[in-house]
């Protein structure tokens, strides 16, 4: 769905926002979020490996 921003010259009109720019921004946000999730998983995996090593 296309987002719109208000046209400041006339409040009853709307100007479409560049959809490709929105997609790029969303893709950057998603990639950043996936990287942080991956790092969290790696940290938890490392902690589990250390615990398993101590228990053996």
pLDDT in tens, 30-49: 999 999 999 999 888 888 88
Closest CA to 14 of 23, 5, 22, 26: 5
Q: Is the pTM of this model over 0.75?
A: no
What is the model's pLDDT at position 31? 92
Residue 7 confidence (pLDDT) above 70: no
């Amino acid at each position: 769905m296309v987002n719109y921003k208000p046209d400041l010259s006339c409040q009853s009109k709307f100007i479409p926002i560049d959809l490709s720019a929105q997609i790029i921004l969303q893709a950057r946000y998603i990639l950043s979020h996936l990287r942080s999730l991956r790092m969290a998983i790696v940290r938890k995996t490392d902690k589990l490996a250390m615990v398993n090593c101590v228990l053996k």
